[in-house]
Amino acid sequence: MTQTYEEMDAIAMLKADHRKVEDIFEQFEKATSKAKKQQLAEQACLELKVHTILEEEIFYPACRGQIEEDLLNEAYVEHDSAKQLINEIEAGGPEEDFYDAKVKVLSEMIEHHVKEEEMRSEGMFSQARSAGLDMDKLADDMRARKRTAMEEFQAGKPAETRTMEGDNVASALTDKPIGEGAVQR
Ligand SMILES: [Fe+2]
């Protein structure tokens, strides 16, 4: 029997998010029209922004001190790399040269993220499960936060990074040699 959303514990909820986003990326691969691609890419970005908030504000802090420290810190940095791509994708559109490439790379980052969390025994979720975290209480907190986060992001709030300041990196937005008339922004 499949669990309803309200019945899920924290790990089931996070895994359901993973499956949902994987499915959206799969549809993006098959999509042919620019409008459809943009709609799917933006849907994936929204889901991922909410997912990272739930992990960073609720699930990861609960894991702190209970599971491998390195794994947790790397997850925050990986989230931030993904968020930089997410904000780029949201600010851009499918007419851009690198749009599809950005979505593809984002999907690969998420594939890696999913593996780090769902891997048997040494993955984050199984470490958290063995540590005896209260997954039902965490799920209630996550369900409540999900509603507010969805509203905030649907209103257009970009993702915020916690571990890096990607906007400080000068960019040329071209594959031509930098310095040859490339536009800095
Ligand atoms: Fe996750």
Mark the residues whose beta carbon lies below 5 A from ion ligand 1.
117
Helix axis angle for 10-30 and 34-54, nearest 10°, is 160
pLDDT tens figures, 63-105: 999 999 999 999 999 999 999 999 999 999 999 999 999 999 9
User: What's the rounded Cα separation, in Å, for the pair 31 and 18?
Assistant: 20
* Average confidence (pLDDT) per 10 residues, the chain, 185 residues: 89 98 98 97 98 98 96 96 96 95 98 96 95 97 97 93 77 68 49
Residues with Cβ < 8 Å from 20, sequence gap 6 or more?
47
User: What's the rounded Cα separation, in Å, for the pair 112 and 105?
Assistant: 11
Nearest CA to 74 out of 13, 169, 162, 166 is that of 162
φ/ψ of 129, rounded to 5, equals -65, -45
Return the domain boundaries, the chain.
5-160
- How many whole angstroms from 114 Cα to the centroid of ligand 1? 6
18 is written with which tokens?
């993973």
Confidence at residue 113, expressed as pLDDT on a 0 to 100 scale: 96
Per-residue DSSP letters for 38-105? HHHHHHHHHHHHHHHHHIIIIIHHHHTTTS-HHHHHHHHHHHHHHHHHHHHHHHS-TTSTTHHHHHHH
Confidence at residue 169, expressed as pLDDT on a 0 to 100 scale: 65
Contact present, 21 and 104 (Cβ < 8 Å): no
Nearest CA to 47 out of 71, 82, 11 is that of 82
Confidence at residue 165, expressed as pLDDT on a 0 to 100 scale: 81
- How many whole angstroms from 14 Cα to the centroid of ligand 1? 6
pLDDT tens figures, 170-179: 666 677 776 6
DSSP percent split of the chain into helix, strand, coil, nearest 5: 70, 0, 30
Confidence at residue 1, expressed as pLDDT on a 0 to 100 scale: 63
- How many whole angstroms from 177 Cα to the centroid of ligand 1? 37
Cβ of 149: how many Cβ atoms within 10 Å? 20
- How many whole angstroms from 52 Cα to the centroid of ligand 1? 7
- How many whole angstroms from 118 Cα to the centroid of ligand 1? 8
φ/ψ of 15, rounded to 5, equals -65, -40
